[in-house]
Amino acid sequence: MSEREHGVSATDGVTTARPGAGPPAAAGTTRDWSAETLRDALDRTSRWLLGYRERVGSLPVLPRTAPGEIRAALPARAPRDPEPFERVLEDFERLIVPGLTHWNHPGFLAYFASATRGPSVAAELMIAAVGVNAMLWRTSPAATELELVVVDWLREALGLPEGLRGVILDTASTSSFTALLAARERAGERVRETGLAGGPPLAVYVSDQAHSSLEKAAIAGGLGRAAVRRIPTDRGFRMDVDALARAIADDRSRGVRPALIGATAGTTSTASVDPVAPIARVAEDTGAWLHVDAAYAGSAALLPELRDRFEGWERADSIVVNPHKWLGTSLDCSVLFFRDPAPFREALALTPAYLASEDGEVVNLMDFGLPLGRRFRALKLWVLFRCVGVDGLAASLREDIELARRFANRIERHPRFRLLAPPSFSTVCFRAEPGAAPATDEVADALNRRVLERVNRRGRVFLSHTELDGRYVLRLSIGSVHTRPTHVEEALAELDAAVEAELGSPGGPGE
């Protein structure tokens, strides 16, 4: 049946009535908008987008809404009839935007940033326009081959060796989970076919500073939390390699097989870097899979002067780097590098008859991950590299690292704050001190909670917290493409005002 027989014009997409079909619906709403309607919506959206990016710095970073307030303002049921896009955009501005945490705000200094560069905004529109699914080579040859190219561009830019391959997934949690499945298959002997029950017990080793995603991966991968060994760290919050070796030896003596060691290059709390080279030796000696979580800090390997901090990661079986963190690519874009594709295929490849093809020697990216459907994420990296360039990306990273260094220097000389961990990359961990007299950790923890609450409630900047050695610690991380020195100065001023309100003023920050 033709489009026109369905009641849709093949030329303009405007709905027309068939004989006996009743009155026509509003133009362009039953199947799709007309070109004119879409043009108007895109024009309105682009004007809103540009205005938002110009004014986002004047908005409170955190929303001033109570739980349930936004939901209560929205209809309980979807509309039966179409509404004009103009009204939808108005409601978006009126109801939704005030309830957003603005990750593109220049004062967003809390978690690792996910601030979107302009080229990525344009790329997202291109991705939505073509709407391809990059699961098989056949379902979009350009999407598949572009992904292979841009992953290799990133590999080379990071100084990683030839021979590493990779795919683009959504987040580091998925990338690490995928690596665990490959490691499980290699260590567990045909887990894919027989499950875990008949094989040897397996263990996963991560530091006590590692991201929770690997523990979640162990849960989802059927190993359970009991299989995860949290290895202690040194005074710099880096994995203790001797403790790792002892834990593996103890497990092997009890018949437990080491499946995966998760090293971190840029931990979530302090951005510390595990000693990957010695950890790699342990992995090679014990046959364990080495996975390096470099989701945040891996981008810093773009800087030749920082490559030595990643020594040993080139020996890993898999590495994850998230361009949607420090490089300014929009969510979601996580690159999983791997040395050998076979364990991933063995763990996950499954082609039903309706997807079988005879395309010859091609790469089908769905074979390297759990999802069947795959977004055209490669286009975002391609546009990013083309419009910013490797040198431009590196320059931006250097600026962030320098801003963090200056902030750490000011904190170090401040009469009311002190550093709690060595500053690393663009992340600084610090703590307000109650006064000259020693105070219990409970008193200091309570003070820092109040200071953070005061700062974040003001809405000019947004900081986060973590826990180090059982103590509540404040945390500032610079990574937004919109953050400038004035915004870091504003964070210092807000911290000063908050601690003065709590303790009185002992003098300003050191210069």
Residue 84 makes CB contacts below 8 A (sequence gap 6+) with none
State the distance between the two ends of the chain, measured CA to CA, in whole angstroms: 76
| Neighbouring C-beta atoms of residue 179, cutoff 10 Å | 30
Q: Is 209 helix (H, G, I), strand (E, B) or coil?
A: coil
Q: In terms of residues, how long is the chain? A: 511
Bridge partners of 108? Answer: 462
Using alpha carbons, select from 272, 308, 231 the residue that is nearest to residue 475: 272
Select from 235, 236, 280, 227 the least CA-distant residue to 258. Answer: 227
Closest by Cα among 348, 298, 301, 342 to 320 = 298
Q: Tell the burial category of 103 from Cβ atoms under 10 Å away from its Cβ (0-12, 13-18, 19+).
A: middle
Give the 3-state secondary structure of residue 450: helix
* Helices and strands of the chain, counted as H and E runs: 15, 11
SS3 285: helix
The residues annotated as belonging to the active site are: 354
At 136, the amino acid letter reads L
d(C-alpha 293, C-alpha 318), whole Å: 9
Distance CA 224, CA 226 (A): 5
Nearest to 207 by CA among 287, 306, 273: 273
Q: Residue 14: what residue type?
A: V
Identify any residues that bridge with 166 across adjacent strands, giving them in sequence order.
337
Strands 427-432 and 471-477, how do they pair?
Answer: antiparallel
Q: Give dist(CA 419, CA 139) in Å, integer.
A: 52
State the Cα–Cα distance between residues 140 and 377, nearest whole angstrom: 13
